[in-house]
Amino acid sequence: MSNGPNRSRIHDTEAQIRRRRLLALLLAAPFLPASLRASFAQAAAGEGAAAAVSDKFMTLSMFATGRSKLDPAIGTATLTALRESDATFAAAIDDLAADAASGKYSDVEGLEAAVRGTPKHAALLALVSAWYTGSVPVNGKERFITLQDALLYQPIADGSHIPGVCAGATNSWADQTAPSLAAMPSDR
């Protein structure tokens, strides 16, 4: 009752159809309007530029937070919100990334002291605040990016839970066993 030959033929047929479509598209490409080809090229270049900006932002974020690893999805959402919150943020971040990459500063405290009193200082503080709180103020309203992965709560993650997040069922704290009375201090 093996479907081997039939299944193989179906797979081969699907692969041939995909190859034919690809071949047809490649053959038709020279006849596409130049504007359509240019828009495809711009889209591809835009994706490459966005990836470079995102990489630069993530590298700066790791330097600014002192973390060796940060979630790229949270980074993308954070960068988007920070750009929406301040029109000058992108330029300031480019400058900060160049400063951090220069090797003149061993840590974020050195960079912060160097940029104090400049527009880059506000951008640096906004960046660090966004990673630690998991939110960014955009147009007067907080935009929450993450609660579970906000760096603020990582120090207590091993023994507590994030405020506002249920740690278990109602009264689950009461189900824990109490220490034995023999281990209790005595006054005698």
The whole model's pTM is what?
A: 0.62
In the predicted structure, residue 170 carries a pLDDT above the cut 50: yes
Q: Phi then psi for 68, rounded to 5 degrees? A: -90, -15
Domain boundaries, the chain: 54-161
Q: Across the chain, what does the average pLDDT equal? A: 77
CA dist., res. 158 & res. 168, Å (int) = 15
Residue 21 near residue 59 (C-beta atoms within 8 A): no
Residue 101 near residue 121 (C-beta atoms within 8 A): no
What does the chain come to in residues?
188
Per-residue pLDDT tens digits for 116-155: 999 899 999 999 999 999 999 999 899 999 988 889 888 8
DSSP string, 16-36: HHHHHHHHHHHHHGGGS-HHH
Torsion of CA 26, 30, 36, 42, to 10 degrees: 80
